[in-house]
Every structure is written in structure tokens, then in C-alpha cells.
Structure 1
Amino acid sequence: MTKTQYNSEIEVQAKYWLWRIEQGLSQQERQAFVAWVNQDNKHHLALHKYSPSIKMSKFLAEFNGLFPLEKKHSNNTQKLFKHLSLAASVIFFSMLTSEIFLNKSLFSFFQQTSSAIVYQQFSTKTGEQASFSLPDGSLVHLNTNSLLTLSFSDNHRQLNLVKGEALFDVAKDKSRPFSVTSGQQSFTALGTIFNVQKNDNNHLELIVTEGRVLIADSNEPLIELTQQIANTVQFPERNNIVTAGEKTVIVNKIQLPKNKISPLALSQELAWQKGMLIFDGESLATALDEISRYTDIRFTIQDQALAKIKVAGYFKAGDVETLLDSISNNFDLTYTQTNNNNVLITKAIHSATLGPTTSSTL
């Protein structure tokens, strides 16, 4: 593992712990959290970097010594760390300092050391899709450039879609709600297959293909979430209950009205599972934004008139050259590779003697 990869993994782990703190830690998790913080000063700094949004939570008051205002720690602070982590460090020390642990996921390690709580992490690279079986028998399909963490306990199946897009085929277990948090929202399955896409922290999309999904705040306590699930029987038409064949979008924590989605539109939305992208009247700018999710190449359109051109067709995800050749031939455009990862799209310039210009090859 390179230094960059190691630092990136630390940041992911820090964000995961901050999310788990907001959800509420068990005693086992508290011990593991303290041990993780004291394993490496970089862990401590990563928490300091990403913790401002939850500094005021009541739980962190118990660990306020772990979140100093300065990066350099006084002797008193270091003594406090030692007192907080003494018991946990005795248990975890040998594993935490070993090369084996440093090359394994934090979540895989906890999966092996805790019988009550299971931790896992799943991810895909840009242009990659993958399917995984979860410990409860549920299935998850991850789209390009996605990261999903899992924390299963005896009474709650919790997942966090850190980035990207995932489809969940949920195994039924009424005694353990299945909740996916993303940004500031949670999506709880009620016997369901559903798709969540996180465009950014303030823009989420939910599509339900089977059953129902309850939308709630990500920090909703389990007891209140359970009550809301019970209320879905009495109030099935509420806007925060999305049923099969419906899509909803959440922008800045505001859920927009639910929309019925046709089987054809549903196939288009979920074509990524088969490695395909389907466009049917989207603007060129929108199509290129979608293509960009599957490649490192970025596109620049010369003017707004070109950006509004409507496109349609079936394309293999990541097949940039076929898409560009298609729009070049059908819309009288040309494209030029300006550097390794940038493509400029312009209107084709015609010559009376030489004919249309040809597009460059990626």
C-alpha cells in the first residue's frame, strides 16, 4: 500500500467513525474507536479535519480530549488519551501495530473480532461495477466509483453509501431494519429492491423497483425509526414512503414529489447494471456528464447551443470513442483531445474543397 493510498484509507475510516458516532456507538465500538484513534496520530488529525459538523453532539463531550483545537497535543492531552484507551489498547495493541493490520480494511478486522457487530467495506473504481453478498443474504450491486460501508448488529442492519450508486436486493428480516444512509437521509427497506444514487451531499436519487422504502433523517434513533416503520401500515400514502415503480429526488434535505416511472424509463435508469448507458432525448451536456462517471476523461463543450443538442442511443459504459464518433457523424460536430484527460467538442468547420473536418481519435 502506497503512502497516498494509506492516507486515503485513513480519511475514509475517519468519516466512517464520525458517521457511526452520530448513529450511536455500542460499548464494543467505543473501545474500538479509542484504540483506532491512538493507533496513529494521523487518525487523530483526520478526525480533527472532518469533525466540525458534529463537534456539538452530546456523545463527543465524552471524548472531547480527542478533538483538540490545535493539531499539536499537550502532555495533558496525551495523558488523557492513555487513560481513555488503556483497556482497549491492551486488547488491540499487537494487531494494530502489525503490518498485517495496516494492509487490511478496518472493517474486515472488526468483522473478525466482534460476534455482535459485523463491519465491512465495499468499493468500485472508476468504470467498474461489482456485486456483493451481504452477511444477511442481501445482495448489493455497486456502480462506478462507489464506496459503501456496512455495520450489522443484532437489531439493525446499517449501511452508509459514502459516494456513488448502489442497488440493494434486501433479504427479509422484520426483527432487523435494513437502512441505507447517504448524506443526511436514510432509506429503510420494507421488503424491497431499491436503487440509491448520491450525486453529492445535497443531491440524492431513490428508485424503488419492488416493495417500499421509508425515507427519514440519517440520525433518526432506531426506536423512532421502528415506530415510523409501524406507522407505514396505517399511512401508506405519505410522501416519505416510496413504493415500487416510483422515483424521488432529495435536494438540500427537501424531498421532491414522487413520480411514477415507466418500465422503459426504469430500464434506462438501471441499464448500468448490464454495463450499458441509454439516452433518450437528454442534452449532450447531460449525456457527457453521465459518461464522465465511467471514465477519467472530462469534456468541454464550446458553446451552449451545442450543449443543448438532444441525443439518443445505447452505449457501453466507458466507451467514449463510440459515443464521440456517433455525435460527430450525426450532429456535424468535431472533437479534439486537448490533453490526456480533456476533450474539446466544437462545431465542425467545412471547407469548399476539402469537405468536413475529421474528428481526432482518442
Structure 2
Amino acid sequence: MKRDSSAHIGDAAARWASRIDRAPLEPHKQAELDAWLASDTRCPGAFMRARAALLRMDAAQALGPDFTPQAPRLHLSRRNVLAGSGGLLAASFGAFLFWPRSQVYRTETGEVRLIPLDDGSIATLNTQSEMEVLFTREKRLVRLIRGEGYFEVAKDKARPFIVTAMGAQVRAVGTAFTVRTLPGRAVDVRVQEGIVEVGKPARANQAVRMAANMEARIGDDADRIAPVAITPDNVQRDLLWREGRLSFESETLANAVAEFNRYNRTAIILAGEGIGKRHVTGLFSATDPQGFAQAIALSMDLSARSNEKQIVIESR
């Protein structure tokens, strides 16, 4: 059986790196990648070099205009890296033969997961969340793919801790903050302690600093980021999900129900015009939709009926 050339392996590695860079692999594609990596002893090294090429470009952009890479400067575009030959990748990035592979963490519906990271930082993933982590000597990069994460960052001035989510980025050294990215909503950042820098990689000169007890929302159409002050009580209340609880203060019932549905497979349905506009205040167990529905029905003079798949709140 004829062995593939190094150039052919390099090209395949670049294609796999490009696919992973765009989105997480589906299970059958991950199986294909694993099979390819096991097919030749040269494949893992070529793949790591290709991943390093893309990740170093992402890091240089995320770290902002003041960042100066220690590696030799290479005049390569992202397209050239993806389309270039295996020989070019090997020559340019041979020093990254043992580049660490990224790790992906996920949570299921109703699951909250505490994740100690290699640098001493701690990440807590909320329900239905996913993130990819890659630490190198120059940076600590986290990509929040979906959901919500709370990050307690170990201090390391030489390696900024950078969280990216849907075109937004948060850069910190040693602090504690939350990043939340949900479908159809702006990315939400809340700082519990320390200082972070929030912006968009494409507009590095427009990044703003946020101190403790501040919040910012970063949308695709936002011309600028305008952090606002929030009370320490609000910050603590919004973090109660780490303990399996949800706290609402004058929140619309529609928003409260949407939040509950993120944590439970038994969906709550609001039936009836105007019910969702009512306001709710209280502390509830995140995984007890039945108890929440009954409390709402009693306090608002509504009716709650349920089956195995859903709970319907409606007028009497």
C-alpha cells in the first residue's frame, strides 16, 4: 500500500483544521478525524501544526494591537494557511509539533458543571452550554460556543485570559466574570470582581474597560459598547444558578418561563393573552418547574395543569 506524501498529509491536516475552526465536528465527522489521525504516524503532528497556525492568528487578533508575538513574523493570510501545502505548514510551524490540543466541555439540560482549568482558573458552565479551551505559553483562550459560563481567573500578567463569544471578546488577567450567549440575544457580560476589557476583535480600538458590578451587552449591530452599573446584590442574585436556584425580581413571567425552560425537559407553556406580561419576584429551584408553576398559579390566580411533556399555565 502506497504511503501518502507529507504534502498530501499536510493538505488534509489544513482541511481538518479549517473544519474545526468553523464549528465543532458532528460525531460522524469526529470519527472520521480520529480514523485519519490513526492512519499514519505523521498525521497527529501535521494536524497540530495546522491547528497552531489558525489559533495563533486568532490569538494575535484577540490580544489586540499592543500584542507582539514572540514567533517569527510570517506574511501569510488565513486563506493561504488553509490552502497552503503541507511542506509550507511544516516549515513555518515546525516549532509547534507538540502544541496542546484544545479541550471542549459541554453541559446537558439542567446540568451545572465546575471545571478546574490547567492554569488554576475555574470555569463553571451553566445548563445547555459549551466551550472550547486552549492554553499556550502566550495566552489563555476560551471560546464560549453557546450558553453561559462563570470564570474565576487565576492571575497571570504574562498570559491574558480571553473569552470570545459570537463576535465579542472579554480580556482579563485575574478577575471573576460571567459571559452569556443565547440564541437571538446580545452577548451579556457581568463582572463580579476585578477589571476586564470588553470589545470586538474587528474593532480592537473601541474596547472598553469594565470594573466590578458592571454589565454590558454586545450585539452584532451595536456601534459602541456602553457598560452600566448594577448593584452587588444583582450580581450575586444572577449567580445563584451555580447553586441550582433561579432568582427573579420584577421579571416578566414570559422571561422567567423562558429561563426555566433552559433547565428542564418538561416545558412550561403560557396560554392566554397578556399572562406573559405579568411580573414575578421570588427564589425558585431551577429544576422544579412544577413547583414554580404552582407558585405562579397561586400568586397570580391562574391555573396550572401538567402532563409528562409540559406544564400549561393559563387563566382560570
Normalised by the length of structure 2, the TM-score is 0.70
Q: Match of 2:82?
A: 63
The Cα offsets for residues 187-223 of structure 1, whole Å up to 9 and x where unpaired, read as 0013211110111375110001111111132468xxx
Higher relative contact order (CA 8 A, sep 6+): 2
The one-letter amino acid of 2:266's match is I
Considering only aligned residues, what root-mean-square deviation do their CA atoms show, in Å? 3.3
Q: Matched residues in 2 for 1:172 and 1:136: separation?
A: 9
The alignment status of 1:306 with 2:275, answered yes or no, reads yes
Q: Where in structure 1 are there 5+ consecutive unaligned residues?
A: 1-12, 21-27, 37-56, 66-82, 89-112, 229-237, 349-362
Q: Matched residues in 1 for 2:81 and 2:230: separation?
A: 47
CA drift of 1:321 comes to 0.7
The Cα offsets for residues 80-113 of structure 1, whole Å up to 9 and x where unpaired, read as xxx749x99xxxxxxxxxxxxxxxxxxxxxxxx9
SS in 2 for 1:191: coil
Match 2:232 to one of 245, 263, 266: 263
Q: Match of 1:325?
A: 294
Match 1:155 to one of 122, 138, 143: 138
The one-letter amino acid of 1:212's match is I
The one-letter amino acid of 1:248's match is A
SS in 1 for 2:260: helix
Q: Match of 1:251?
A: 219
CA drift of 1:118 comes to 4.6
Greater shift after overlay, 207-216 or 299-308?
A: 299-308
May I ask how many residue pairs the two structures share in their alignment? 252
SS in 1 for 2:175: strand
Q: Match of 2:63?
A: none
Q: Is the 8 Å Cα contact of residues 202 and 253 (structure 1) preserved in structure 2?
A: no
Q: Matched residues in 1 for 2:254 and 2:19: separation?
A: 32
Q: Match of 1:31?
A: 46
Match 1:286 to one of 244, 247, 255: 255
| Percent of matched pairs sharing the same residue | 27
Q: Where in structure 2 are there 5+ consecutive unaligned residues?
A: 1-16, 25-42, 52-75, 91-95
CA drift of 1:62 comes to 4.2
Q: Matched residues in 2 for 1:114 and 1:121: separation?
A: 21
CA drift of 1:294 comes to 0.3
Match 2:105 to one of 95, 102, 122: 122
CA drift of 1:114 comes to 6.5
Structure having the higher Rg: 1
Q: Matched residues in 2 for 1:140 and 1:275: separation?
A: 16
> Given the superposition, is the C-alpha separation of residues 303 and 203 from structure 1 closer, same or farther in structure 2, using an over 3 Å criterion?
same
Q: Is the 8 Å Cα contact of residues 48 and 98 (structure 2) preserved in structure 1?
A: no
The Cα offsets for residues 257-279 of structure 1, whole Å up to 9 and x where unpaired, read as 21111122112111111111011
CA drift of 1:329 comes to 1.3
